Amino acid sequence: MNAAAHTLLPLRADAPSSAVRSIERPLPAALGACALIHGFLDPAECAALIAAAEARGFGGAGSDYPPSYRNNDRQVLDDPALARRLFERLRAYAPDELADADGGRWRLESLNERLRLCRYRPGQRFNIHQDGVHHRGPDLRSRLTFMIYLTDGAAFAGGDTLFYAHGPGRGGEAEAAPQARVRPRAGALILFDHALWHAGEAVTAGVKHILRSDLLYRRIGARGPADAPAPFAPGHDGYVWTLARLGDGRIASAGRDAQVRLWSGDGRETARLQGHAQSVLGLCELPHARLATVSRDRSLRIWNLADGACLRSAPAHDSAALCLTRLGDGRLASGAADGGIALWNGDGERLRAWTAHAGWVWSLCALGDSGLLSASEDGELAWWNASSAERVASLRCDAPLRSVDAEGARIAFAGVDGRIRLARASDGALREDRDWLGHDAAVRRVRWLGDGRLVSCGEDGRVRVWNADGALLQERRHDNFATDALLLDDGRLLSCGYDGVLRTD
């Protein structure tokens, strides 16, 4: 749901340092930085925050997050005044400075005023994940998660915060077991590093409420060696979601900062396309030096690559637009979080739309002139006749799918179970050839590189290059989820991820 502006939430103005009952370190030191501060809010303040949130009303997370990720109720609240009061209370307990591995230093600056209130009813949970970094520029970003338990654990069953040594993957039950468990206590504040893998256990009875935000830190002094000027730097403010090679040799990148950045082949930024209101998730080059984009803001835009002007903006879907591809006949297809696919002509005029899946349409790719492949959260890989919106064939998987790409009749697709699957399209049927476990977490992207190799990007931070038989040829790491990769003209691999970085090394 959209952020609500509200500055009158009740919170005592006096600092609660004398009210804090204890501070504990609930995680093994090997897992990372974490502190649990009991008594940060008193019971009356917790009750008032819950009452105010319930009066405003919660919405489901389904329009912003897939159900395989989380299914709790949520509310986004922009409240600078409340954030300032919470921050003043926090100063005595939060680390004043943090250091990077390369020696860079960061000083505590503020609490993100975008507060998220979450409600968990029976059956609702937040699966294992890492928290994303909130960027305010290259020298100001969030580093620690700030979360207050508003409901006491005695009022509900389940609902513990679980911490893990690694992301989900191939390690079996031993690796999947949580390394630490925090039972919510009303008024307690937990601070921890964004990089920690954690989950909100399913609530089985009662109702749990939390308030969540981020601690922002500003870089102190000069940047370290790793931050020196480099090709494809400084990247984006926030995650980079997708990449595209353009016919003139340039590269387009897009992501959370709602911008498209254009780069020369050697990594010099040449332009920025600005106009979308939320994350840009789909890129597609068009004839006559144009670019099509779709965004979480639910719109499709057509851009002039020569001068960066937006030539057309149109509503695309009734929910977040997630992907975009160009068919062999020149038409465009976009997919969305409501399970819908829309078809467009090359000038951005909508031709038709249909409900294609029971879950998010994460990825689309062309198959021949009018064929279209879609990979969905419902676990289905579907082959469509885009002209008639008829399903030609489909394959069912046991896990939600996140990506599909085709090279001729060869198809690669993958999803949240970390498996990479190959299939072929022929005689109106999809036939799966082979599959292998490619990543220790969900696969965000598979892409054929045009030379018989396949690249995959995972939530384990790995970018891996494979031959068509599934043999691993190359690997690199990002500091957070890896999201896309492609080959440059000189044969180097360019990759991106949630760390906001575009890498060629």
Output the pLDDT for position 443. 96
Q: Give the per-residue pLDDT at 169.
A: 56
CA distance 441 to 19: 41
Tokens at 201, concatenated: 């256990």
**Confidence at residue 341, expressed as pLDDT on a 0 to 100 scale:** 98
> What pLDDT does residue 229 have?
59
CA gyration radius, the chain: 23
CA dihedral 286, 352, 273, 268 (to 10 degrees): -40
Q: What is the pLDDT of residue 447?
A: 98
Q: How many helices (H) and strands (E) does the chain have?
A: 3, 44
Torsion, Cα of 69, 73, 78, 83 (10° steps): -90
> Burial code of 159-183, b = ≥16 C-beta within 10 A, e = fewer?
bbbbbbbebbbeeeeeeeebbbebe
**Can you give the pLDDT at residue 168?**
64
Chain segment 135-168, per-residue pLDDT in tens:
787 788 899 999 999 999 999 999 999 999 877 6
CB-CB contact of 304 with 289 (8 Å): yes
Pairing mode of beta strands 22-24, 34-38: antiparallel
Distance CA 132, CA 194 (A): 7
- Residue 19's pLDDT is 62
Tens digit of pLDDT per residue, the chain (505 long)? 344 433 334 454 444 445 677 788 888 877 788 999 999 999 999 999 999 999 999 988 777 788 878 999 999 999 999 999 999 999 888 999 998 877 789 999 999 999 999 999 999 999 988 887 887 877 888 999 999 999 999 999 999 999 998 776 544 444 568 989 999 999 999 999 998 989 999 999 999 999 999 999 999 986 655 444 589 988 888 899 999 999 999 999 999 999 999 999 999 999 999 999 999 999 999 999 999 999 999 999 999 999 999 999 999 999 999 999 999 999 999 999 999 999 999 999 999 999 999 999 999 999 988 899 999 999 999 999 999 999 999 999 999 999 999 999 999 999 999 999 999 999 999 999 999 999 988 999 999 999 999 999 998 889 999 998 999 999 999 988 899 999 999 999 999 998 888 999 8
Q: Tell me what pLDDT residue 430 has.
A: 96
Residue 6's pLDDT is 33
Determine the Cα–Cα distance for residues 429 and 441; give it in Å rounded to an integer.
29
| Backbone torsions φ then ψ of 14, nearest 5 degrees | -75, 145
Residue 222 is predicted with a pLDDT of: 64
**Full-model pTM:** 0.82
What pLDDT was estimated at residue 22?
A: 79
Query: What's the one-letter identity of residue 132?
Result: G
Output DSSP code: residue 173: H
Q: 3-state class of 47 per DSSP?
A: helix
Return the pLDDT at 32: 81
How far, in Å, CA of 29 to CA of 328, rounded?
A: 54
Question: What tokens does 294 get?
Answer: 């779709």
Instruction: DSSP for 57-97, please give it.
Output: --EESTTTS-TTTB--EEEEEE-HHHHHHHHHHHTTTS-SE
Token pair belonging to 261: 């950045």
How far CA 376 is from CA of 98, 338, 356, 381, in Å, comes to 40, 11, 9, 7
User: Whole-angstrom Cα distance, residue 205 to residue 121?
Assistant: 7
